Structure 1
């Protein structure tokens, strides 16, 4: 009796192939959305920039309002999905944050 099921199936079907390879996929795997290098804009329906491997900045529309979304993403079934870690700022708060950058940088330098 053959030691494994593949040998048994090959013997039963009369196949003489000794290959353990499965079907060969000649199509390349789909590319991932955040494959770009750090700081680069990706080709996405929403304007998107990669801060780090899975940390993205996106400009999104939600219920008719625009938000700047800074978030960690995770991969599931070859697709990048937004995770829980992150923040979505309405445009007015985003602009306020931008006005504080000098003060924030000074505080960082003081530490």
Structure 2
């Protein structure tokens, strides 16, 4: 008789293509006044392994908002994310009030 997967097993697959998923993520500690980390690149934690970094790539600076994953003890950038030029980042910030108003009206 074929073995059937339970609903829990069937729904536990991830559609993420950014590497292994740690299903035993420890609960986050109490909120700090700053979420900046001590890293080589300026880094801020949004939530869990979702980070904002200011990085240099091919001689240009980017604001990188991305999900990271662990491999062999290292935190590596996943495919899910976006890198913005400083100009795009400033444009996004300038839209903040309008976006916040739209969010408030949607809830």
TM-score, scaled relative to structure 1: 0.65
Aligned equivalent of 2:104, options 83, 95, 109:
109
The count of aligned residue pairs is 77
2:47 corresponds to 1:52:
yes
The secondary structure found in structure 2 opposite 1:46 is coil
Name stretches of at least 5 consecutive residues in structure 1 with no aligned partner.
1-34
In the alignment, what sits opposite 1:66?
61
In the alignment, what sits opposite 2:70?
75
Call closer, same or farther: CA 1:77–1:37 in 2, change over 3 Å.
Answer: farther
Aligned runs of 1:92-107 on 2, under 5 Å?
92-107=87-102
Runs of 4 or more consecutive aligned structure 1 residues displaced over 2 Å after TM superposition: 35-39
The secondary structure found in structure 1 opposite 2:40 is coil
The secondary structure found in structure 1 opposite 2:88 is helix
Aligned residues: CA RMSD: 1.8
Deviation at 1:37, TM superposition (A): 6.5
Could you list the per-position Cα deviations for residues 43-83 of structure 1 after superposition, in whole angstroms to 9, with x for gaps in the alignment? 11100001111000000001111100000000001110000
Aligned equivalent of 1:90, options 66, 85, 88:
85
Greater C-alpha radius of gyration = 1
Distance 2:52 2:74 in 1: 17
Q: Is this contact kept in 2: 1:37–1:50, CA < 8 A?
A: no
